[in-house]
Structure 1
Amino acid sequence: MELLRYILRRTVLSTFVVVGVTFLVFVVAQVVPSDPAALYAGPRPTAEQIEKARQELNLDAPLIQRFAGFARAMASGEFGVSYKSRRLIAEDLRAYLPATLELAVFSTGLALLIGIPLGVVAAARQGKWADRLGSLGAIAAVAMPTFFLAMILQLVFAQWLGILPLSGRLSREISISAPLQMITGFNLIDALLAGRLDAFGDALKHLILPALTLASYPAGVAMRLTRSAMIEILERRHVTAARALGLSELRILFGHALPNAMGPALTVIGLSFAYALTGAVLVEIIFAWPGLGRYVSEAVLAKDFPVIAAVTIVVTICYVVMNLVIDIAQALVDPRVALS
């Protein structure tokens, strides 16, 4: 019963976060110097066309009425129409969102697969060369700018070695000659569902470089957090007792110590996913990845407010849901988390 109250309380708080972000986005749109009616009317519009667009967009209505309409559009998931392209934003999101989510999920998993084992090894070899080398790598991964790492990876693996593609989600051979049918929007999953191993391998190759770029920062954070938690746990009595019983070091580290350090690991999942969503803008531009990052960057340049607002709300909801799941998981696996 206490857990249900905790989940309900966290859900209510998450709802307030989404509502607050919605209000903030609307307020910012009102103070940004732009003319949505002129953008909606098209290139070189006349005064009559701008006035007609202003009436169609209901821009002359009172502020409260406009906010009510904006909130209804956001809550219903329709998100309105793009001022620039006049396309339904919901249709664009269905096309672009899966690409960003696939990149975010894959990079988060990659960050955990790299950062957590390195943190465990560094804690087990505290003060030795493995620990120092791992700490140096973690600092470099956190400090290196995303665009610089992306260019290095493209230069080494795409241009010099030629083993990975430079950009895009799929090669031209797959996209044009044998296009992959979109079921979920996740190319890896759609390829498996269609039994297309060639498309699966091609999609995986295209995913590696942008995912590595996005995973570098959270992998460094995961390594440092896991190392700190493991150092504390390895000094506890049950670990000393396990060593006295003659258990292998791998079993002690990954079977007894690491499960007790899952709190920081779960925190890293939330941080990694949030970083992947927000950091995807620059990475998607560099790797020509057709996701929300490129979509919203074009909207920012055009001052296409409905698109910017819709992407902001969607990213907020994704992060809030992930954070809620992480909070519940921490409450379940870590008895030190207070439910009251």
Structure 2
Amino acid sequence: MTKITMVEAVNKALDDAMAADEDVVVLGEDVGTNGGVFRATIGLKEKYGFKRVMDTPLAEALIAGVSIGMASQGLKPVAEIQFMGFIFPSMEQLCCHAARMRNRTRGRLTCPMVLRAPYGGGIHAPEHHSESTEALFAHIPGLRVVIPSSPVRAYSLLLAAIADPDPVIFLEPKRIYRLQKQEMPAAGTTLPLDTCFTLREGQDVTLVSWGASIKESLEAAKALGEDGISVEVIDVATIKPLDMDTIMASVRKTGRCVIVHEAARSFGVGAEIAAQVSAEAIFELQAPVKRVAGYDITMPYYRMEDHYLPDTERIVRAIKETVMFQ
């Protein structure tokens, strides 16, 4: 079978969705003629025409607003924000309108739109190109937030997001766009949204992560396995709504929990998971919940970027401290 990278998986998902449903349209800055900054939309304009693959002005508020209008009238827009650091102008439209459409109209209208954005650090980019602010959108009722961690999940979760009747913020970890290749799943294969995926079974500690940090999490789990520490690795995948049932079942089995993410430590998704685990499994926990995260600073430029991002060594150290807690 053909093996594809994550960015190729995104392109294939868009292609398959557009082929299956003429209501699916793609829009954003440079998504048409240039095929996007990372070439995630390459070839789509040539195949489906400028009426379904639209280059927009450099105006993120416009991109989100037009997408909401399209979605409310029966289309299924998939909009791209070039980098997550440029997403802030679109937030008024997303938070005040897209997220509220179903509630505002008492279900008469929905907003079946997807807003894609490359996110996260690790590519030595300039300012505003490496943000990890998924918690901002996870806090808004009515928005679904999805973050794939592999080519297969990128393809299958994006198809599921496009089919969803409500707005989805689909964040693509650009650090792993071309890091690995996986066999292409059967065309049209979807994975369930709002579900965590257990990537590795373990008995001693639950390691919870998402996005690009899954790579280092699996590396840490493998290294610790050689030392006799059995690590269960969970890929959150859908940040909101959060599948706490899967996480809690694992924590109750292992008695320990370490959470890894590259977003700033304070007030993040990791803090929410830690709070729920501590509240609901307090009598099963054998150690405090530990977080390995980015620091509460602006993502630094490339010379310091590697010091900011959680690496395998930091994760291994946190897990050992958790396992050895008395």
TM-score by length of 2: 0.24
More strand by share: 2
Q: Select the structure of larger CA radius of gyration.
A: 1
Q: Which has the higher contact order (CA 8 A, sep 6+)?
A: 1
More helix by share: 1
